[in-house]
Amino acid sequence: MSDERVNVSRLIDETPFTAYQVITVIIGFLLLALDGYDAQVISFVAPELEKVWGTSSAALAPIFSSSLVGLAIGALISGPIADKIGRKTTVIIAVFLFGIFSILTTTSSGLGALLFWRLVTGFGLGGCMGNVTALLAEYAPTRIRKTVLSIMWCGFPFGATIGGVISAKMIPAFGWKSVFFLGGIAPIVLGFIAVFGMPESIRFLVLHGRNRNRIVTPLNRIAGSGSVSNHNDFYLPEEKLPGFPVKHLFTEGRALNTILVWIVFFMTLLLIYFLTNWMPTLLKGVGFPMGKAIIATAMLQGGGIVGTIVLGSTSDRRNPKVILGISSVIAAILLIVLGYMHTIGALIAVLFFAGFFIVGVQSNMNAIAASVYPTSARSTGASWALGVGRIGSIVGPLIGGVLVAANWSLPNILMLAALAAIIAAIGLALISRNLIDSRIASSEQVVVEN
């Protein structure tokens, strides 16, 4: 293929999915698992802190949200940084920071210090998640991109589930600090693995193609040795919209769909983080032993792993907004039922299926977000929907703190949580997929020439 111009996207699309790309998926899966672990273990630590520090449950609400605030800030900051130094470099720096700050969390001796370390730990997570997702999307062929990303997104509920199992054993044996120490060592180890096993963003390499070998090496590992060489010109077709990209989410009849998608993202992430952070404390409050409360809460995310895959597969064959809308209604019913479970077996079963539908819906909302926008606005639409959803993830734990402080009963709290699922279902029902703009957008080519 000497002296030919190579469309990098087409080359990746037309070749089989290789072991090189599988390794990238595995690393991405594990990085998201770290986020799931970190999000879950703080909820398991909370009841222990009440005992050790003599604090109230309601006082811990800001602790639950602090890392999510840091995550949102880290995500905003890391985007421009990644455009300058590369996605891989940004991810590696972020994951090392995440690990170091998680270890430093063990030095906390009061709520103020814990809040600070949770906040800065979130910075690392925020710099990692968005960039590794975008990087993986660049290396996944279009024909299986949705499946590949769904597999990677399963990392979050997987990490949360493992976090529950580990915490149930480690906290009684080694104290609450042990789970944060482990949560710091793991990303540092994974960071070193990513240095050698994760490729740099192919878009970044083409755009900043000063070292052509950095482009040729990963492409030859994907398409086969000798498929491309230093004599090729490499380019990526990039669609371009005029003006500020976000405005296109509200033009040409897309405003209502945009608002509805944002509402669904907000409600589903509010619900997930509310349940993730408060269920162990709530279950302990109604008489379940702490160890069993932790295992039961972990089943919420365990069901989410299965739900993400099953609902994603079903949505590929059926109308996704119908599938996810019905699932949200079922989730609401299960949450109401959950408030009246009095045996650990029944509790685990209901939490598993609640996670199946709640986490499954949220994970597959990315497909809905993509479907209501033209290709040229799709990336902006999906990222802004997730950004609005992150606000819900911050608000959810804070609402939990207010309800606990007001001494609401478990059935009443879960009935209010069910309302969030119903609002999400209504939002899904109102989304119109007929508003998709199918016009061909203008394109711009990013080229690396001899």
Note whether 277 and 129 are same-domain residues: no
**255-285 and 410-430 helices cross at what angle (nearest 10)?**
160
Note whether 226 and 245 are same-domain residues: no
Note whether 285 and 336 are same-domain residues: yes
Note whether 223 and 372 are same-domain residues: no
Note whether 210 and 255 are same-domain residues: no
Cβ neighbourhood burial of 358 (10 Å; 0-12, 13-18, 19+): buried
Residue 191 lies in a domain: yes
Residue 408 lies in a domain: yes
Count the domains in the chain.
Answer: 2
The alpha carbons of the chain give a radius of gyration, in whole angstroms, of 22
> How crowded is residue 107: how many other Cβ atoms within 10 Å of its Cβ?
11
Residue 194 lies in a domain: yes
Residue 448 lies in a domain: no
Domain boundary among 173, 206, 237: 237
Residue 429 lies in a domain: yes
Residue 418 lies in a domain: yes
Domain boundary among 181, 213, 237: 237
Q: Give dist(CA 23, CA 383) in Å, integer.
A: 25
Adjacent-strand bridge partners of 234? 6, 448
Note whether 194 and 258 are same-domain residues: no
Note whether 220 and 245 are same-domain residues: no
State the residue for tokens 């009935």: 415
Note whether 128 and 256 are same-domain residues: no
pLDDT of residue 443: 37
CA separation, residue 410 to residues 42, 282, 399, 406 (Å): 20, 7, 14, 12
CATH number at residue 44: 1.20.1250.20
Q: What is the DSSP string of 25-39?
A: HHHHHHHHHHHHHHH
Phi, psi of 109 (to 5 degrees): -120, 5
- Low-confidence residues of the chain, pLDDT below 70? 1-3, 209-210, 238-245, 316, 367, 370, 374-380, 383, 433-450
Q: Are 413 and 210 a contacting pair, CB within 8 Å? A: no
Q: Which domain holds residue 49?
A: 1-237
pLDDT of residue 244: 54
Kindly give the residue spans of alpha helices, DSSP state H, lying in 54-110. 61-85, 87-104
Q: Specify the amino acid at residue 197.
A: G
Domain boundary among 176, 205, 237: 237
Note whether 18 and 131 are same-domain residues: yes
Note whether 340 and 289 are same-domain residues: yes
Note whether 309 and 206 are same-domain residues: no
Q: Give dist(CA 380, CA 378) in Å, integer.
A: 5
pLDDT of residue 238: 60
DSSP, collapsed to helix, strand or coil, labels residue 322 as helix
Note whether 278 and 358 are same-domain residues: yes
Residue 375 lies in a domain: yes
